[in-house]
Structures are given as C-alpha cells and as structure tokens.
Chain A
Amino acid sequence: MNIKSLSDAQLVKNYISGQEAALSVLINRHQQRLYGFIFSKVYDRDVTEDVFQDTFVKVIKTLKKGNYNEQGKFLPWVMRIAHNLVIDYFRKNNRMPKFKNNGDFDVFSVLSDGAANAEHNIVDQQIANHVRLLLDELPEDQKAVIKMRMYQDMSFKEISENTGVSINTALGRMRYGLINLRKMIEKHNISLTN
C-alpha cells in the first residue's frame, strides 16, 4: 500500500514505531495549511518559518516520547501547538519591541552605538595636534597659562603661584590667549570640528 494514501492516524502510528518516512508524508500533507495558518497571524515569512519549525520540533518530541493521544485529530493538534507558539511569539515581542528596517526608514540612521569609529579617532588626534601647533604661535606667557590650565588641569590659584603673577593676571592671559587662538583659527580658516 502506498504510504501517501495512509490516514494521519496510521502515519503517526508508523512514525512512532520508527518509520521516518511517515513524518515526511505528514509534513508534506499539512505544510501548506499550517504555514498559511501561521502566516495569517504573524504576516512575516521569517517568523512563520520559525514558528512552523518549532511546531514540528514539538510534534516530533511529543510523538517520540509517546505522549501523543491519538483521537484521529492530528492536524487540529498540530494547529493548536502552532497557535500557542504564535501567542508565545507575540508575548515575547511585546516585551521586546522589534524595530524592522522596511526600506522607507532605517532606524540605524538615527541610532548609533555612541563609540567613536576609527575615522573619528584619527580626526580627533589631528585636531589635538593642530591646537598644539597653534598654541606654539602664542606669546610665551599666554601659552604657559593655557597649557597649565588645559593640559595640566591646574587651578588659576595654582597657576598664579607657579608663574608668580596674580590670579587676575593669569585669568587675563588665559582670556587673551584664547582670543588670539580664535583669531588665528579664523584668519587661516582652520576647521577644528569633527
């Protein structure tokens, strides 16, 4: 007798007794209905594929464990498993909303990981070098104050003690130093942004 003409119940019985080909017939017989059923709920080919696979993995396990209760209702039983898996999928998806790139809008164009990439790192280094070169063009007293404040993180009190001038003078040198730096940047049209 042709295996394809056997009933579901007989195929299940054969499968449990070790005839692997019976599973192939069962899948082929019901794949379209089951797949369509899942797709009608999730409207996503990849998710449908996953749920379809998980459904049959459950079916295989249950049958091999001998936990299946044959009542002549193989397909409704498989559909119920699929239905439960679809519910599980939606529950999981509600907890973790998924953003899909559907072509119109790429979510990654507005989201970034925040870490600087190699190009940014190189440009940052170049900017730092250019600032150092510009600093060297400043008068010695202004350059010293800016270096102590910006690179050595000293307070103006410490700078005044270190250079032997008053805090106000140190503040003034810092101010004129920055103004001169800005003038040089504008004059030479230097871009110092990343």
Chain B
Amino acid sequence: MAKLYTENPSNSEQLKPREETVNFLLNYSKALKIIPIGTKNFETFIN
C-alpha cells in the first residue's frame, strides 16, 4: 500500500505540451525579428 501512495499520478508525465508546439515556438522565436522605427515596432519573419 505504501508503494501505491508514493506513486506519481499517471497523468503527471502527460501534462506537457506537444513537441511540435515547443518546436514551433523555438522556430518562431528564431525567425522573428523586431525592428523599432520611431515609436513603432515592425515585426519581420526570416525563413
């Protein structure tokens, strides 16, 4: 019984974003360049 109580909940490992989502964010970050011109910021994406 003690073992059961100390077990991690089975879904704790699953509550993570999908790998594609994380990869998308990392690629998005790499591609995004923000160029400030005057008081405005311009977003550009580099493929």
- A145 vs B10: C-alpha distance when bound (angstroms): 78
Residues A18-51 near B (CB distance < 8 A) = 20, 23-24, 27-28, 31-32, 35-36, 39, 48-49
Count A-side interface residues using an 8 Å CB cutoff. Answer: 20
Q: Are B15 and A61 in contact (CB under 8 A)?
A: no
Select one of B12, B25, B34 contacting A53, CB under 8 A.
B25
B8 partner residues in chain A, CB cutoff 8 A: none
Majority-rule SS of A interface residues: helix
- A35 vs B25: C-alpha distance when bound (angstroms): 14
Given contacts A60-B32, A61-B32, A64-B34, contact A27 B16 (CB under 8 A): no
Q: Are A20 and B34 in contact (CB under 8 A)?
A: no
Residues B11-47 near A (CB distance < 8 A) = 12, 15-18, 21-22, 24-26, 28-30, 32-34, 36, 41, 43
Known contacts A31-B22, A48-B17, A61-B34; 20 additional CB pairs below 8 A are A20-B26, A20-B29, A20-B30, A24-B22, A27-B22, A35-B16, A36-B15, A49-B18, A53-B17, A53-B24, A53-B25, A57-B25, A60-B25, A60-B28, A60-B29, A60-B32, A64-B29, A64-B33, A65-B34, A65-B41
List the interface of chain A (C-beta within 8 A of B): 20, 23-24, 27-28, 31-32, 35-36, 39, 48-49, 52-53, 56-57, 60-61, 64-65
List the interface of chain B (C-beta within 8 A of A): 12, 15-18, 21-22, 24-26, 28-30, 32-34, 36, 41, 43
Provide a sorted-by-A list of 8 A–B residue pairs whose CB atoms are within 8 angstroms. A23-B29, A35-B17, A49-B18, A49-B21, A60-B28, A61-B34, A61-B43, A65-B36
